[in-house]
Amino acid sequence: MELFSEYFENLVAVQPDYFNNGLIKGAYLIGAYTKGIIDSSYFSEVSKKNETFKKWLSNQKITEQNLKKIFNKAAEFERKLRLGSNRNSDLSTLVTTHFMCEKEIKVTQQEVSFAFIRGFNDYAKFKKDNPIKGEDSE
């Protein structure tokens, strides 16, 4: 099974300038983790077709100040709905090892939001390109 961390390492190698900022990396990875939790929530054994986190996220602004809040809420749903999978754990680990707010480097809110959405969309593409038999294919 391929993990997103392998995909991400290759992406960073190809686009080092884009990912040289810890906030951009964090926003990107939180976007990917968020997509993983949304997809997994829908197929949760605890609560089938659960869209609570997806609905909660739709009311959030994707800003630097909200990134940790979004990550923490995703992690909460991962625990509550027992969504522990190798892929979700891999994503969570990536966030906690790469997300750093470097206050001396200014990043616009648009760049943060873009990185989040890019990570969200890249994870969807990654899952489509690397399906796991018996796992959701959304």
Q: CA 102, 66, 2 angle in degrees (round to 5)?
A: 80
Total number of domains in the chain:
1
**7 in a domain, yes or no?**
no
3-state secondary structure 46-71: CCCCCCHHHHHHHCCCCCHHHHHHHH
Which pLDDT band, with edges at 50, 70 and 90, does 134 fall under?
low
Tokens at residue 8, please?
């991400």
Is position 6 within any domain? Answer: no
Full residue range of the structural domain in which residue 46 is found? 21-129
Asked if the structure places residue 66 within a domain, the reply is: yes
Q: Are 62 and 110 in contact (CB under 8 A)?
A: no
Question: How confident is the model over 62-66, as a mean pLDDT?
Answer: 94
**Confidence grade of residue 137 (pLDDT, cut at 50, 70, 90):** very low
pLDDT at 57: 97
Query: Quick check: 88 and 33 in contact, CB under 8 A?
Result: yes
